[in-house]
Each structure stands twice: as structure tokens, then as C-alpha cells.
Amino acid sequence: MSTNPYESPESELGQSSPAVADANVVPFVSGHVLSLITRILLGSYTILCGIAMSLFGVYLLLLMTTVLDDLLGENRNELVQAHGQLNQLRTALLVCTATSFLFWFHRAYRNLPALGAADLSFTPAGAVVCWFIPLLNLGRPYLFACEIWRASDPTFAGDADTRWRNAPLTWLIKSWWALWLMSFLLVAISRRLPQQSVEQAVTAAWTSLSAEALRAIAAILAILLVTAIDRRQEAKYEQRLRQGQSLAVELTPG
């Protein structure tokens, strides 16, 4: 037995506490502040989507009310101008929201080894890069989100734990990603639809309105998802700390 009074019981017995990070593992850093900023920005983006839906609704009403042809002619340009200004504001907000989300997404994935998850499929850098590679960005971010969710499960809080792969997947991820992809598809379609007649303009407006609705719902689901992952990671980290404290007490010589 070592006579060094400052040597921990874990070192003496060749064991390590789950709360003590491995030398090669980046320590856990809470992503709570990043998640809060991201949720606020997503909420603001959702509000702008709602305003855009309202503008499209008024535009559709004018288009389909043939007795108000004169009113349509007078107000169409104003509606188009208002929607254009709204799109500029929303684009700027989207850039800020995406930046905050990517910082949080990277932090959430980078925390997984410190939370005891082993045998990860990707790298923290890949959690950001995959969003910018054409075609790959249609599915790889979804796989990252699935891995973050499963590896953040507080049920599996041991060291070098691979059981997280069997953790159940939430419906939030599937719904969020499906709606997000569908909204971009509808936006791409609406931009290519002809608007030479009232009927064509109505079709294009309905398509854009549907895209806005999907974007708003996807943003709400993203808020719920970010909140849930943040809570899971905080809970798992606290659980690992408690396990480490319990182990230290058990190993302390009586």
C-alpha cells in the first residue's frame, strides 16, 4: 500500500472514477448557454415564418377574390415589397440562427466522449462540415443528431460505454428532419413555378405558404430537440459525477 497521503484511492487500486476524464478525452463543457441562444433565435425565426404566412394568406385572398381585381392591382406590389423586406430580415436571422445551432451541435457531439460514450461513428468537426457538402447534407446531419441523442442517454453513464447504440430514438429527430427537407423542397418548387396567370400565381402562393408552415413547425421541433438534448447531457454529466463521488467514498480507507 502506498504511503503517500495525497495519493487518491483510485490511483492506489488502479481504478478510475467515471467523473474523471481520461487524459485523451476533452472535458465536458456545458452547452446550456449555446442551447438557450439557439432556442431564442429559432423562436424568433418561427415568428417571422408566421408573419410570412400571414402575408401569403392576404396575397392568396386577393388573388382568389376576382371581384377585387382593382384592389389586387393596387396592393400586389406593396405585398411583394413587404415580403421581400421580410425575407431579407429572415435571411439575416437565419444566418445567425444557423451559426448558433452549429456551435451548439458541435459542442453537443464533442461532449459525448466526456459523457462516457465510446465507439462513436464521426468526429466533432464532421458535425459542422457535413452541413455544407451537397448531397451529403441531405442525410449525414440526421445521423449526427441520432448519435448525439442516443449517446446522451443518462441510462448509459459508464466509462467507455457502447450500450448507448441500443438507446431508443425520439420521434422529434425524425419529424424535424423530414419537415426541414420538405420545406426546402417546396421552396425550390415554388421558385420555379410560372406565374403568368392568376391560377398559376395561386398555385405558387399555396406552395410557398405550405413551405412556410413546414419551416415554422420544423423550427418548433428544433427548439424541443435542442432543449431535450441539452437536458439529457446535463443529467448524464451530473449522474457520472454522482457515480464518481460514490466510488471515491467506497474506495476511501476506513
pLDDT of residue 70: 54
What is the C-alpha to C-alpha distance for residues 90 and 79, in angstroms, rounded to an integer? 16
Q: For residue range 196-223, list pLDDT tens digits in order.
A: 777 787 788 888 889 989 999 999 999 9
Q: For residue range 6-53, list pLDDT tens digits in order.
A: 343 333 333 344 444 455 667 899 999 999 999 999 999 999 988 888
Q: For residue range 131-158, list pLDDT tens digits in order.
A: 999 999 999 999 999 999 999 999 876 6
Burial of 2 (0-12, 13-18, 19+ CB in 10 A): exposed
pLDDT of residue 4: 46
Q: For residue range 50-97, list pLDDT tens digits in order.
A: 888 887 777 777 766 654 455 555 556 666 677 677 778 888 999 999
Helix (H) or strand (E) holding 220: helix 198-251
What is the C-alpha to C-alpha distance for residues 50 and 44, in angstroms, rounded to an integer? 10
pLDDT of residue 87: 78
Identify the CA nearest to 182 among candidates 171, 193, 174.
174
pLDDT surpassing 90 at residue 178:
yes
Annotated domain spans of the chain: 31-246
pLDDT surpassing 60 at residue 161:
yes
Cell numbers at 76, concatenated: 400586389
